[in-house]
Amino acid sequence: MELYSGHINRLIDELSSLPGIGGKSAQRLAFYLIGLPKDRVHKLANAIVDARENVHYCKECCTLTDDDICPICSNQSRDHKTIMVVENARDLAAYEKTGKFEGVYHVLHGAISPMMGIGPGDIRLSELMKRLQTEEVDEVIVATNSSLEGETTAMYISKLIKPTGIKVTRIASGVPVGGDLEYIDEVTLLRALEGRTEL
């Protein structure tokens, strides 16, 4: 026996299909949305539709934007000779929050994962290589995750770019702030040791 009517069930089903939203969260959200004034619901629905129809990839860095060129790429005060390669737009946002990186980005929208059937052609590597041929770039910082897929992607990017003479660097990784050494895995400890800096 179904607990709710068809419209409520459909809304719960649609919400639960979103990443990170389970059945209970979807139910809570559904009832919250149903309780909102109609104008707020229409504003939310219109914002979703407008974003889906108007957001696309930046022609330079492949991040999501509603302009041809994103605000970071169009900012002439940024260092366009230094490109940080990240896996997704959330990683870009994380680095921007630090306020310390003054270069520009390239968003891959994924990482190489043979186990998942994702190869170099499935992420935005060809766009990066075209960019390196047309722009004057001094350094490419590979800031992919420290996962197996991220490491595989970093190695592949390094092999692609090194023959061009452009400097390729990898972000440091190691012991997180507040982490107890006894609980850290061996690979992370080794990385922390190799990436040590002078005090």
> pLDDT value at position 198?
62
- Superfamily name and number for 6-54: RecR Domain 1 (1.10.8.420)
Model-wide pTM > 0.85? no
Decide: 57 and 69 in contact? Cβ < 8 Å. Answer: no
Which of residues 143 and 197 earns the better pLDDT score?
143
Decide: 26 and 16 in contact? Cβ < 8 Å. Answer: yes
**pLDDT exceeds cutoff 70 at 193:** yes
Give the DSSP letter of residue 117. T
**pLDDT exceeds cutoff 50 at 1:** no
CATH tag, 69-173+183-193: 3.40.1360.10
pLDDT band at 173 (very low <50, low <70, confident <90, very high): confident
pLDDT digits (tens, 9 = 90+) for 74-114: 999 999 999 999 999 999 999 999 888 999 999 999 999 98
Kindly list the domain boundaries of the chain, sorted by start residue: 6-54, 69-173+183-193
**pLDDT exceeds cutoff 60 at 199:** no
